[in-house]
Structure 1
């Protein structure tokens, strides 16, 4: 069985061209990640252990300042993750929409009951089309 190799021309053509109107936002989206990453690096130099749980296991408790550092570090990681998502949405809006639709579809196929509403995820509201 031989593998079919892509031609050089095929490899140079992007999957999706970024709309020009969104290009000016690309740097701003990247800045979100960069600032959060710099913050995490600074915080990591101040923390003795990698997680808040490890700190509590080691020392038995945690003071408010140290806990705030661990929590802020966790929030910064969330900002990095969100920054990647935003950057993807800006640079490849069609692909990101496809990923969102796939995620919506996966959630709609779940069968567990939601504790707050008692509804089964996957129910579609007939008036709005919203997936619960």
Structure 2
């Protein structure tokens, strides 16, 4: 968010501080990188830290938008800092970051395991596009 704020000077993109959040431990599912590193074929579920904002938010997650590819998620936050939309192309690397983006953007489209796609960009008309892949992602997914 700092980089985006520095480039655009849009006040709604200014990063929040750690004091703006409450740390809660919840049951979370890992991304696939830990399974690859451990040669373990299943997601790993365990208790882990999750940050929740102290300021007002209203997240709504939707996974059945038929316009989007399989394994995609749309998150809306009616109380976000801006009315902007972000489109994220990534692997599981960005899973833990989606709610942070949703605090600053009214709509977050996370297209997991999808390559950069001009047709989806034209359909969704995002204000910001982010590509976030771990270094283990196969290059054919990226381009």
Smaller-chain TM-score bracket: under 0.3
Structure having greater relative contact order (Cα 8 Å, sep ≥ 6)? 1
**Higher radius of gyration, 1 or 2:** 1
What is the TM-score of this pair, normalised by structure 2?
0.22
Normalized per residue, which structure has more strand?
2
Q: What is the TM-score of this pair, normalised by structure 1?
A: 0.23
